Amino acid sequence: MQRLWITVPGLSMKQDFKAARQRLMREFPAIEEVIATTAPGTVLILASDPIDANACEQTLRSVSSAQARTGRFRLAPRDHGHHDNAA
């Protein structure tokens, strides 16, 4: 069994892990499990056969980037109930 630790700066275990795990397991059939670690941005990949570490890293980077674009940094909603009209 191959063990591979991959670190991607900005990868959030809280927000990105589920999507990252699903994507890795879908794109790399040899992957048996993806485990979140306590190290920031780091996952442990367990695979039955050798896998391409660079390809896995690119997949993780794309998941992290996609999550950042789709809502990690949302602005607070506007309060439409209060108006500052000075008249």
pLDDT value at residue 43: 96
Q: Could you read off the pLDDT of 25-72 as tens digits, one per residue?
A: 999 999 999 999 999 999 999 999 999 999 999 999 988 766 555 554
More confident: 65 or 20: 20
Beta strands 2-7; 31-36: pairing state: unpaired
Higher pLDDT, 77 or 55: 55
d(CA 72, CA 36): 19
- Per-residue model confidence (pLDDT) at position 72: 47
Domains of the chain: 2-69 (3.30.70)
pLDDT score of 11 more than 80: yes
At how many degrees (to 10) do helices 53-67 and 17-27 cross?
140
